Structure 1
Amino acid sequence: MRLRGIVRMWMSVAKPYSGAAAESLSRCGLRGLHMVLLAVLLAVLAAVPAGASLTGTWRLQLRDAAVVHGDMVLLGEIASPVGEMPPELWQQLARRPLWESPDKTGRTMSITGPRLKRAMRRYLPEHHRKCLYPASMAVQKGGGLYDEAALRKVVADSLTPRLAALEGEASLRDYRLPAFMFVEDPLNTVMLMTDDVRAGRLSLRLAEVRPTGDVVRQATGSVFVDVWTGVPAAAFPVNRGDLLGPDAVTMVRKNRAFMRGDPWDGKGGPWRLTRAVGQGQVIYAADLEIMPTVARGDRVDLVFRGSRILLTVPAEALADGAAGDSIPVRNLQSRRQVYATVKDPTTVIVQ
């Protein structure tokens, strides 16, 4: 309104002058007057708060889902005021009937964005331009509603205690849940039915449950579980077949959500690598195997033991073997291959 008044003032000053008089005046007093009016206009605009509208500082936010109770949908059931709306105006508008609600309790109706805009132009003609519209709206008669924030709380309240059982620092992020979930009765609740809790993208199953325990309906979603923990890693590059000694292992902090398997637990051994591992890379349990008593290529004593004979000759192991395993070896004197039983790291026996 202040802006309109200033414009009218400007026009009233400029209108009476025309022809030579206007030209003469424009060279002196009128130019100065225009400058004064321009300064006043800029001061008025500067006084308007950022983001405020000169035609009003309130809006009506229409919800994407709502529960109604009567035969007619009321504005207060599907919208909320945003900004500086006078309370008495909202009390009046909230009772404004719009269109007929679903004919039965528990039944829903869906309204597309364009249809919703047409309806507001019809039932709220004086304020429809102040409405903020969702892409669509779902309306249920009776029952209850869990919006996305409420569903997120259900998931967090259910999973957070179970995260304590995971080794490391666990947290939830990147919720992907339904925008809302209706329940047929206010006494019904939405519960998380997911049992498995692990690092990474976790699939969720949400269910509407009656007080009797019966499941009415279900919906799905997901959440990402981060689990930060210390895991063994290579202190320097190690090759396939290398013995994994204490000096080759260091601890690093990793997110298990992005690990491709179970890390080595640091126990057992002696171990050797089944693949090359770069410096700082995680050492997985699948990367290790027990160090054999005799490794392929080792030089060993091949002992021929009989009832009346004991003969020892040099040999080469042609395969890995633990104590008690039978492995092929090559007699380095005759070049013949025989199978012998591993006794210790330096001896294999043929009986």
Structure 2
Amino acid sequence: MPGPWHWLAALALAVGLLAFGLAPARAGTADAGWRIRLLDAAVVSGATVTLGEIAEPVGPISPQAWRELAATPLWPSPAEPGRPMSVNRPRLQQALREALRDTESLCLYPGTLVLQRGGAVLREGDLRALAVRALTPALSAMPGEASMQDYRLPPYVFLAHPQQQVVVENTLAAPGRNTLRFAVREVDGSIVRKFTGSAFVDVWADVPCAAQPVNKDDVLTPDKITRVRKNLAYLREPAWDGLGGPWRLTRPVGADQVIYQSDLSGVPTVRRGSVVTVLYESGSVRLQVQGEAMADGGPGETIPVRNMQSKRQIYAAVKDGGTVVAR
């Protein structure tokens, strides 16, 4: 039966392993407080794949302990440089179980690991940074406060060699979801391949809204207009810019609702039902009678007018608020 000194020696060894950053190899492994996260895509350089090329530590493991684990050889690298190779999760688990033994229980696996020998790999965060840099000038030029969110990008992109570049081809942006067009560019400027992603652009700005409920055909006077902060990405069409007029509404608009440009029409010079002077001009003959406008009309527009004496309907061009000209 081992004496007390044997027990103390075993305890000291276990404490030393924990201080070094490695958990005991068996029952305590799952309680190490750190994990090994396998990447979903990685580039390897040598003839043999090592753990450090395809994984990263998560949690409080000492740098020295990770350096030793990272150097663990796993399997031969892909034979052909620049050609990605996929390793599914069961094969990955089996290989790491053989290489790491009990420490394999600390591994966090992706569904598939894609490897490439040589070259480079850009991850989603790298593509996001490229998109932000390319579109920042367009975002700065927008009214209000513009920002991007909800990126939908490839999780990774492999490059055949580090001299290749990924560039964003489109640099214009609009509120709402924007397509991002990427290209892989060779050293000589030629395009090797293209791929796409997208990002959602939020633009917060103060836009004209109804200060109170307004009805169809109401004239839009200043007391009926206010400005409310809205996200332009969710507007169904461009909002009215607040310029021009006088305007009247083509549809009812509720309080604090956005006033769109399509909601507005010019206030007619002549209103339907109003009494106007109808001028008849033909050569040297000039005649005027009273008429009733049968439709709204602005200057120069032709509207139907009913002669109040003969009851006949004619067409005349609007001259001003009280006069139309029939030729």
TM-score normalized by the length of structure 1: 0.80
CA distance in 2, matches of 1:140, 1:128: 23
Q: What residue is the counterpart of 1:318 in the other structure?
A: 294
CA distance in 1, matches of 2:166, 2:108: 29
**Is residue 94 of structure 2 the alignment partner of residue 118 of structure 1?**
yes
CA distance in 2, matches of 1:226, 1:54: 44
Equivalent residue pairs, number:
301
**Is residue 145 of structure 2 the alignment partner of residue 169 of structure 1?**
yes
Note the C-alpha offset of 1:66.
0.6
Q: How does 1:202-241 map to 2 (within 5 A)?
A: 202-241=178-217
Note the C-alpha offset of 1:54.
7.0
Give unmatched runs, 5+ long, in structure 1.
1-51
CA spacing shift, 1:158–1:324, aligned 2, 3 Å: closer
Farther-moved stretch of structure 1 (257-266 vs 86-95): 86-95
CA spacing shift, 1:53–1:313, aligned 2, 3 Å: farther
CA distance in 1, matches of 2:63, 2:88: 29
Q: Percent identity?
A: 49
**Is residue 271 of structure 2 the alignment partner of residue 295 of structure 1?**
yes
Indicate the structure (1 or 2) with the bigger Cα radius of gyration. Answer: 1
Q: How does 1:264-343 map to 2 (within 5 A)?
A: 264-305=240-281, 311-343=287-319
CA spacing shift, 1:102–1:53, aligned 2, 3 Å: closer
Matched position secondary structure for 2:102: coil
Note the C-alpha offset of 1:142.
0.3
Matched position secondary structure for 1:126: helix
CA distance in 1, matches of 2:135, 2:283: 70
Superposed CA RMSD in Å reads 2.2
**Is residue 51 of structure 2 the alignment partner of residue 71 of structure 1?**
no
Note the C-alpha offset of 1:239.
1.6
Matched position secondary structure for 1:76: helix
TM-score normalized by the length of structure 2: 0.85
Farther-moved stretch of structure 1 (284-293 vs 136-145): 284-293
CA spacing shift, 1:54–1:63, aligned 2, 3 Å: closer
Q: What residue is the counterpart of 1:259 in the other structure?
A: 235
1:346 to 312, 316, 322: 322
CA spacing shift, 1:110–1:301, aligned 2, 3 Å: same
Q: What residue is the counterpart of 2:225 in the other structure?
A: 249
CA contact (8 A) 2:30 2:105 kept: no
CA distance in 1, matches of 2:165, 2:143: 31
CA contact (8 A) 2:138 2:172 kept: no
CA spacing shift, 1:97–1:295, aligned 2, 3 Å: same
Q: How does 1:184-203 map to 2 (within 5 A)?
A: 184-203=160-179
**Aligned partner of 1:283: which letter?**
I
Deviations 1:203-249 (A, max 9, x none): 11122222322222222211111111111111111222221122221
CA spacing shift, 1:186–1:327, aligned 2, 3 Å: same
CA spacing shift, 1:337–1:209, aligned 2, 3 Å: same
Note the C-alpha offset of 1:161.
2.8
Note the C-alpha offset of 1:311.
4.5
2:120 to 144, 148, 161: 144
